[in-house]
């Protein structure tokens, strides 16, 4: 993120969009004070948020293509996917707990499509950064899955244990890191910031998967610190280059 780069596009799912669960009303709402809005003010960047609730990486790719066709200019891109990709059709699981079930996006598909998104952006000279997945609370999410009457017993039979949800989710987070090493993209590691807390669950909504207002504040701080570190490094490199050419 060089000093002159101010226009940041964000593509991702409901986490990047700023969606939280309003427990009192029992519905999802858009948090005005989400991490992107806060970081935009603190950094002085223009954040253009193209994230979408429920979005998988394949859907994100199509949104990205349309975005680039209509307005191809973007200095920096932040990509945040995986939470929906790793999810399952829980009703189908409950109905056939002894069957084979695939996630919305397999790991191979996830990496392939994600890589394509990085390539699309870089072909236009955009600097690309990947965001890790905030950790989920497996127990709370399991309760959320079965709240409407799905058989907890049958779903648990298929899972083996509730923490399988967390471990499976972690595999997609690990895939983000592997893709970053392959492509050389910087990583905005929000997962680490959550896990460093004594109880990261206080940063999540009652559904166990969406960061709450406090969680968004943590993500905002991680993003601001990450950007400022990049800016400081760019200034140092520029000063060194000018000194060597003096």
The domains found in the chain, sorted by start residue, are 7-244 (3.40.50.1110)
What pLDDT does residue 128 have?
A: 97
Q: Under a CB-based contact definition with an 8 Å cutoff, are residues 110 and 175 in contact?
A: yes
Which residue has better confidence, 1 or 107?
Answer: 107
Given 3-state DSSP classes, what are the helix, strand and coil percentages for the chain, each rounded to the nearest 5? Answer: 50, 15, 35
What ranges make up the beta strands (E) of 106-188? 127-131, 186-188
* Whole-number average pLDDT of the chain: 92
- Global pTM reads 0.92
Looking at the DSSP bridge assignments, the partners of residue 7 are: 46
pLDDT at 243: 47
For residues 129 and 78, what is the distance between their CA atoms, to the nearest angstrom? 5
Question: What kind and span of H or E run contains 111?
Answer: helix 107-122
Residue 234 confidence (pLDDT) above 80: no
Kindly report, residue by residue over 14-31, the tens digit of the pLDDT.
Answer: 999 999 999 888 899 999
pLDDT of residue 24: 87
| Residue 7: per-residue pLDDT | 87
Residue 199 has pLDDT above 70, yes or no: yes
Stated length of the chain: 246
Q: How do strand 19-22 and strand 27-30 relate by DSSP bridges?
A: antiparallel
């Amino acid at each position: 993120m060089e000093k002159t780069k101010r226009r940041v596009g964000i593509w991702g799912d409901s986490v990047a969009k700023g969606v939280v669960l309003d427990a009192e009303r029992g519905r999802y709402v858009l948090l005005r004070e989400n991490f992107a809005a806060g970081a935009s003010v603190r950094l002085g960047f223009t954040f253009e948020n193209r994230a979408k609730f429920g979005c998988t990486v394949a859907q994100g790719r199509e949104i990205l293509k349309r975005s680039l066709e209509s307005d191809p200019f973007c200095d920096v891109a932040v990509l945040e996917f995986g939470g929906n990709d790793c999810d399952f059709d829980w009703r189908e699981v409950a109905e056939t707990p002894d069957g084979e079930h695939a996630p919305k996006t397999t790991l191979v598909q996830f990496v392939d499509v994600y890589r394509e998104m990085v390539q699309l952006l870089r072909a236009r000279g955009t600097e690309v950064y990947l965001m890790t997945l905030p950790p989920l609370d497996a127990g709370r999410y399991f309760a959320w899955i079965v709240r409407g009457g799905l058989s907890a017993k049958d779903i648990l039979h298929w899972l083996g244990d509730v923490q399988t949800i967390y471990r499976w989710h972690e595999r997609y987070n690990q895939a983000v890191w592997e893709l970053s090493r392959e492509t050389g993209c910087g990583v905005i590691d929000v997962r680490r910031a959550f896990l460093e807390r004594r109880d990261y669950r206080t940063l999540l909504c009652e559904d166990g998967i969406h960061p709450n207002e406090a969680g968004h504040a943590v993500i905002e701080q991680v993003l601001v610190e990450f950007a400022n570190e990049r800016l400081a490094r760019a200034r140092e490199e520029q000063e060194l280059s000018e000194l060597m050419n003096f």
